[in-house]
Structure 1
């Protein structure tokens, strides 16, 4: 029936096939289907629709909420669908959904081209694209969906559709930020940009309130070619971090300047001047090298909470250091991204990503090993996030865990939710695609 591979509970490789990126997720699907092509995808979708079984869609398996695997249902695994067609002349690429960001970046980088995804090469391009896509090129070229030109997807009735701005424009609008609610994308067509060498890498500084305040201020003032992420976090025992800082708080900046190298050196100089670096790994490099080395054995167990803030003001800095110093987690972290630039210039209603005008994204997290500690760390994260929120609402859906319906509404507030629910009713009225940050189909009243 299927051209791809069907893996059941009694088959060799079942445990490996059901393992996802995040640890602590231990679900046992009835079957895992590694699709070979769009026809396989259609067959699986129709099977789930006819039987009512829960359907999990897996690209890279990085769903924070664990949506990449089902308990007792069917997993549609796209990871072997990796065809990539790059049109260098027209700077476009058709990419199957099983590709990872690193695989795509390496292939495109061979031509001096890139599409922006996230900040990990291991992430599948499927989930990150459908949720928006926020990474190392976000200020220069916008979100991943801003470079999405078309897609092919299988709808709940098993039909394969080509969608773009002119063909099924409502569905094309919805999949640019609305997640996996509307179908299974088998191929994406992306715009490519000339991105050959960048200045990027890691800059590790001491963790002080002044360093954090100044880092954020410099990131806000930086040219749009520079996208940054900064983590105030417990230092891991890595060889390039001085041993006396292991287990202590550090400021870890990740930076990418997509432009002329000399201008990039000038742009990052103020960050290097904030304090004597503990490690300075910033250098010119081919864009694909910006992604950290893959570690297939790393399966972090964590609790986290994400939000948008208007600013990292003095009060926010105080809250960050107060909570990080009090944490008993193996690793405690506050992750901060200064936004703006090209992302903010796209009209808010142009796509289903409604947070264009937000200034800062923050994620607070506790990584731990002992399952018995989960409740304590979850309480720490909840209190930390509540004290940090600044009466602000909104969450980036790709950073959203299993946090309830109200938080999904925060990802898609107001008219965005209503429009998505109406499109959902049109293309998936029985909510076949429900194992996600779900938008139920609108009901006539």
Structure 2
């Protein structure tokens, strides 16, 4: 349903006057492109999209949203599964023009504005043989992935993205621009490391960077059986901490490097990275290559930025569920295979990322990401063609996840879709939820920043 939008409202007219050339309304030729996010299930028409260039301009847009009552969406890379980067009838604060990047090679720090993507940051840092871990996808915005935690190719060696976050520039709901770190506004610094965009707009991040020039990594595709699933996850758990990656048990798409007889049939697609020397990396990859004769083996020595090739244009129509498990036994592996075989979706996947290593060495209460003791992060998803089929596949992924679960609630907030308040609560176990609500009450008592996986202020 399309919301009625008053394009002539005083607030919007004021923004047009103040941000000449930085505003996109429904009459702009770039409007449809600018309002489009990754999820193929989301088709919202904001009243206006504003592209600020610095924190002061962000603060001005935040003030107008607060004064006018317009719903405010904050957009980085646009990868939110729930489409939180765009509002129906409200304001979109699009950070894509905020792209400054500075690196201090000697001090091993980098300062980056929030409009950069993971691929762009990785390429810029890679020019110096340095890296911060950002997931596994080039087009993801550094803001969204950082605020939710950040699980990727360097997690077991160096920790989550938030474990390398040293400081941030944050625009709060009252228009203040705060410099936040462990010594300044420590409660807010704790909350933005895993609590999402609930507490303000982070306009600049300061990260620790690591020396990561060459790695051994890439894609390995194997035929799959329940025994191979169990063995692959066990091998990743036993691997040196320099090795991180993910294992996608999925129906094979018609990729040219996959034998045609496997198209549409279950395979295991492993994306692996060994952040260390070539010789050690090849030894670390051997257990995975020995599981079965590979259908495709693209693992090789490469530079770290090569793991972030440009993403092909796509807008997936999908349903998914995230959870944590402490392992995958043979019964669970058989369940996975049965579920994939039985689905009528165009593509189905069960993804597993083995954690541990540096992730687990950080205390669970040190950041708002509180799943440090979990061994494996899982995701089940179904991709389909027609959005009207969403209820069918929502039920499928929900049932599948429940069958895989060990009964402990848990969710990685960056992978949660439009699943309701209870699922947001699952992302923040124990006392984390109550602590986040208190921080929310202090910095955003009116819940201006609510178009997110929302944490309501404490009462």
User: Shorter-chain TM-score category?
Assistant: over 0.9
How do residues 246-257 of structure 1 correspond to structure 2 at under 5 angstroms? 246-257=263-274
Is the contact between residue 35 and residue 77 of structure 1 (CA under 8 Å) also seen in structure 2?
A: yes
Which of the numbers 152, 160, 174 marks the counterpart of 1:157? 174
Provide the residue aligned with 1:177 in structure 2. Answer: 194
Q: Determine helix, strand or coil for the equivalent of 1:419.
A: helix
Provide the residue aligned with 2:258 in structure 1. Answer: 241
The answer as to 2:369 corresponding to 1:353 is: yes
Is the contact between residue 363 and residue 372 of structure 2 (CA under 8 Å) also seen in structure 1?
A: yes
- Cα distance in 1 for partners of 2:62, 2:81 equals 23
Report how far residue 4 of structure 1 moved. 5.9
Which of the numbers 330, 349, 353 marks the counterpart of 1:337? 353
Q: Determine helix, strand or coil for the equivalent of 1:438.
A: coil
Q: Determine helix, strand or coil for the equivalent of 1:377.
A: helix
Report how far residue 172 of structure 1 moved. 0.6
Which of the numbers 300, 303, 307 marks the counterpart of 2:319? 303
How do residues 178-193 of structure 1 correspond to structure 2 at under 5 angstroms? 178-193=195-210
Which of the numbers 20, 32, 36 marks the counterpart of 2:53? 36
- Cα distance in 1 for partners of 2:20, 2:352 equals 44
Provide the residue aligned with 1:430 in structure 2. Answer: 446
Report how far residue 322 of structure 1 moved. 1.1
Is the contact between residue 227 and residue 330 of structure 2 (CA under 8 Å) also seen in structure 1?
A: no
How do residues 96-115 of structure 1 correspond to structure 2 at under 5 angstroms? 96-115=113-132
- Cα distance in 2 for partners of 1:432, 1:112 equals 40
- Cα distance in 1 for partners of 2:406, 2:322 equals 13
Provide the residue aligned with 2:389 in structure 1. Answer: 373
Report how far residue 38 of structure 1 moved. 1.1
The answer as to 2:310 corresponding to 1:287 is: no
Report how far residue 374 of structure 1 moved. 2.1
Is the contact between residue 182 and residue 433 of structure 1 (CA under 8 Å) also seen in structure 2?
A: yes
Q: Determine helix, strand or coil for the equivalent of 1:288.
A: helix
Which of the numbers 393, 414, 438 marks the counterpart of 1:398? 414
Provide the residue aligned with 1:210 in structure 2. Answer: 227
* C-alpha distance after superposition, 1:283-330 (max 9, x if no partner): 0000000124322x2111100001001211122112111111101111
Provide the residue aligned with 2:165 in structure 1. Answer: 148
Structure 1-normalised TM-score?
A: 0.98
Which of the numbers 384, 388, 392 marks the counterpart of 2:404? 388
- Cα distance in 2 for partners of 1:344, 1:292 equals 29
Which of the numbers 328, 349, 361 marks the counterpart of 1:312? 328
- Cα distance in 1 for partners of 2:360, 2:20 equals 43
- Cα distance in 1 for partners of 2:381, 2:401 equals 10
* C-alpha distance after superposition, 1:10-33 (max 9, x if no partner): 111100000001112000101100
Which of the numbers 37, 45, 59 marks the counterpart of 1:20? 37
Which of the numbers 97, 103, 114 marks the counterpart of 1:86? 103
Report how far residue 371 of structure 1 moved. 2.4
* C-alpha distance after superposition, 1:69-99 (max 9, x if no partner): 0011100000111000011111100100000
Is the contact between residue 305 and residue 381 of structure 1 (CA under 8 Å) also seen in structure 2?
A: yes
The answer as to 2:326 corresponding to 1:327 is: no
- Cα distance in 2 for partners of 1:105, 1:265 equals 23
Q: Determine helix, strand or coil for the equivalent of 2:110.
A: strand
Q: Determine helix, strand or coil for the equivalent of 2:294.
A: coil
Report how far residue 392 of structure 1 moved. 2.0
Q: Determine helix, strand or coil for the equivalent of 2:321.
A: strand
Q: Determine helix, strand or coil for the equivalent of 2:197.
A: helix
Which of the numbers 182, 203, 215 marks the counterpart of 1:198? 215
Provide the residue aligned with 1:231 in structure 2. Answer: 248
Q: Tell me whether 11-20 or 380-389 shows the greater mean CA deviation.
A: 380-389
- Cα distance in 2 for partners of 1:383, 1:436 equals 25
- Cα distance in 2 for partners of 1:11, 1:170 equals 41
* C-alpha distance after superposition, 1:310-364 (max 9, x if no partner): 2111221121111111011111100111110000000111111110110111100
How many residues get paired? 442
Report how far residue 414 of structure 1 moved. 2.4
Report how far residue 255 of structure 1 moved. 0.2
The answer as to 2:152 corresponding to 1:128 is: no
Report how far residue 3 of structure 1 moved. 6.1
Is the contact between residue 4 and residue 36 of structure 1 (CA under 8 Å) also seen in structure 2?
A: no
Is the contact between residue 4 and residue 33 of structure 1 (CA under 8 Å) also seen in structure 2?
A: no
- Cα distance in 2 for partners of 1:174, 1:10 equals 38
Structure 1: runs of 5+ lacking an equivalent = none
Provide the residue aligned with 2:83 in structure 1. Answer: 66
**RMSD of the TM alignment (CA)?**
0.9
Q: Determine helix, strand or coil for the equivalent of 1:385.
A: helix
